[in-house]
Amino acid sequence: MSEVIKIRKGLDIKLKGRADKIFMKAPGSATYAVKPVDFPSLTPKIVAKPCEEVRAGSVIFYDKYRPEIKFTSPVSGIVKSILRGERRRIISVVIEADGKDAAENFKKGDPASMSREEVVENLLESGLWPVIKQRPYGVIASPADKPKAIFISGFDTAPLAPDYDFIMKDQEQDFQAGIDALRRLTEGKIHLGLDARYPAAKAYTQAKHVERHYFSGPHPTGNVGIQIHKIDPINKGEIVWTVKPQDVAAIGRLFQTGKYDPSMIVALNGSEVKKPVYYKLLRGAEISSITKDNLSGDHVRMISGNVLTGRKVEEDGHIGFSDAQVTVIPEGDYYEMFGWIMPGLKKFSVSRTFLSWITPNRQYALDTNLHGGERAFVMTGEYEKVLPMDIYPVALLKSILVDDIDKMEQLGIYEVIEEDLALCEFVCTSKTPVQSILRKGLTDLRKEME
């Protein structure tokens, strides 16, 4: 094994309800959804009309400002409804599955023998292009860009994160084909970040044409942003792309079969889940297809993704496009008398102001209570302890709050997206909405640049 990059800063939040390493086939979902809200800064232009018949791989909508980027249906069926939110913003397009396997045909073949244009086009047409994200901004990559490098984090350290070494089992071939396709997209390297603490999946260790990097440390070590920062940080004007492991395999399957295969493995976990296990399902499946009759509480929050960065999903909602985990935790809308002075044996805090610090290995069933009101920045040094980057997060956030674009750039906004600062938000005494401030900064900056 090559040199291990050790990361000290960060925080592992130990939650109850980790998924057992068992695969279950999810009962079929009646409907599937493609959700524009899964992609930051996306303005969709709808193609599919209600009641229209679609096949797996048929275009549902595309990016209004980059029409070549298409989003396709995961299944064959009919478009059931288009849900809109405030100001008629499209929340999701719901497709009712008909159980047939009618699918669009895309190009099949060895990506290694295809040109860059062919690979790009195949990804765009199939609707798999949106799995490729770009830094800066954390938005869908632009096909015309030539990224400096492509980064894949082979593991996840977030609370209750799925074990990718388990998920990627038996996906060696798909993963390699995906890597081969990605190789056509960049003249730089493909970096694969691996967890040095555990033996990595064969798909990772046998992969060719990637540069492996080993990391060890608490969350957010598994975040690709942290890994980029340690391997080859992003400078102003540079672009790198990132892809998640399961999405790499999905790309591989596209080139091997010529079909859009939306299969995903999703870990269902959290303190409110009766039997936390891994499910095999399709992208955009109903969340209830795995949570039904499997929850111990009824006043819960269902999250597509992890508790730090995931998105809240209603009972009749659908799992997010690239999410490899669903977490269910209790809602926290209760009052707590004199909570600010109670000893707090069951409260989790990075500060040692709660007695729970004497039991460091305890697992918690944390709920969604904010635990206090929002305040101005007062405490210092909190964020720095959970951000293993050479970045001053409070200064960066303040530059966003005062709309100082130059300062944001100078302080390194290019290097981070929401997930990298999610722990800062978790520990914040002032309950500052760190992630939404950062997204505002990224959006403003992107507007300024275009």
Cα separation, 42 vs 28, whole angstroms: 29
Per CB under 8 A, contacts with other proteins among 332-351 are 332-341, 344, 347-351
- Name which of 14 and 259 has its Cβ closer to other proteins: 14
Q: In the complex, what is the shortest distance from the CB of residue 377 to other proteins, in angstroms, rounded to a whole number?
A: 5
Angle, helices 418-427 vs 224-231, to 10°: value is: 110
Judged by CB under 8 A, the residue of 96, 102, 166, 392 near other proteins is: 392
Max Cα–Cα distance, the chain, nearest Å: 67
Q: How many CB atoms lie within 10 A of CB 430?
A: 14
The reply on whether position 380 binds other proteins by CB under 8 A is: yes
Return phi, psi of residue 273, to 5°. Answer: -95, 130
- Name which of 97 and 226 has its Cβ closer to other proteins: 226
Which one of 32-40, 45-53, 171-179, 324-332 is the stretch in contact with other proteins (CB under 8 A)? 324-332
Which one of 101-109, 122-130, 244-252, 410-418 is the stretch in contact with other proteins (CB under 8 A)? 410-418
Q: In the complex, what is the shortest distance from the CB of residue 9 to other proteins, in angstroms, rounded to a whole number?
A: 11
What pairs with residue 318 in β-bridges? Answer: 286
Which one of 97-105, 177-185, 215-223, 407-415 is the stretch in contact with other proteins (CB under 8 A)? 407-415
Return phi, psi of residue 329, to 5°. Answer: -130, 160
Q: How many CB atoms lie within 10 A of CB 417?
A: 25
Q: How many CB atoms lie within 10 A of CB 344?
A: 16
Q: How many CB atoms lie within 10 A of CB 446?
A: 14
Q: Is the peptide bond before 136 cis (omega within 30 degrees of 0)?
A: yes
Place of tokens 């195949």: 122
The reply on whether position 226 binds other proteins by CB under 8 A is: no
Per CB under 8 A, contacts with other proteins among 279-318 are 301, 303, 307-310, 312
Per CB under 8 A, contacts with other proteins among 130-169 are 159
- Name which of 177 and 413 has its Cβ closer to other proteins: 413
Place of tokens 């980790």: 18
The alpha carbons of the chain give a radius of gyration, in whole angstroms, of 21
The reply on whether position 391 binds other proteins by CB under 8 A is: yes
SS3 for 383?
Answer: helix
- Name which of 29 and 227 has its Cβ closer to other proteins: 227
The reply on whether position 379 binds other proteins by CB under 8 A is: yes
The reply on whether position 235 binds other proteins by CB under 8 A is: yes
Which residue, 76, 84, 79, is CA-closest to 47?
79
Contact 148, 235 (CB under 8 A): no
Return phi, psi of residue 121, to 5°. Answer: -65, -40
- Name which of 218 and 332 has its Cβ closer to other proteins: 332
The reply on whether position 14 binds other proteins by CB under 8 A is: no
Cα separation, 250 vs 265, whole angstroms: 11
Q: In the complex, what is the shortest distance from the CB of residue 436 to other proteins, in angstroms, rounded to a whole number?
A: 5
CA distances from 4 to 202, 203, 212, 215 (A): 19, 20, 10, 5
- Name which of 121 and 238 has its Cβ closer to other proteins: 238
| Per-residue mark of binding to other proteins, 416-445 (x: CB under 8 A) | --x---x--xxxxxxx-xxxx---------
The reply on whether position 49 binds other proteins by CB under 8 A is: no
SS3 for 402?
Answer: coil
The reply on whether position 373 binds other proteins by CB under 8 A is: yes
- Name which of 48 and 328 has its Cβ closer to other proteins: 328
Which one of 61-69, 168-176, 239-247, 325-333 is the stretch in contact with other proteins (CB under 8 A)? 325-333
Q: In the complex, what is the shortest distance from the CB of residue 42 to other proteins, in angstroms, rounded to a whole number?
A: 18
Which one of 88-96, 170-178, 290-298, 375-383 is the stretch in contact with other proteins (CB under 8 A)? 375-383
Q: In the complex, what is the shortest distance from the CB of residue 41 to other proteins, in angstroms, rounded to a whole number?
A: 16
Structure tokens given for 103: 């699918």
Find the angle CA(321)-CA(325)-CA(329) to the nearest 5 degrees.
120
Per CB under 8 A, contacts with other proteins among 169-198 are none
Structure tokens given for 232: 């080859």
The reply on whether position 370 binds other proteins by CB under 8 A is: yes
User: Which is it for strands 240-242 and 150-153: parallel, antiparallel or unpaired?
Assistant: parallel
Judged by CB under 8 A, the residue of 27, 40, 218, 233 near other proteins is: 233
Q: In the complex, what is the shortest distance from the CB of residue 237 to other proteins, in angstroms, rounded to a whole number?
A: 8
The reply on whether position 354 binds other proteins by CB under 8 A is: yes
What pairs with residue 300 in β-bridges? Answer: 330
Site for other proteins (CB under 8 A): how many residues? Answer: 74
The reply on whether position 378 binds other proteins by CB under 8 A is: yes
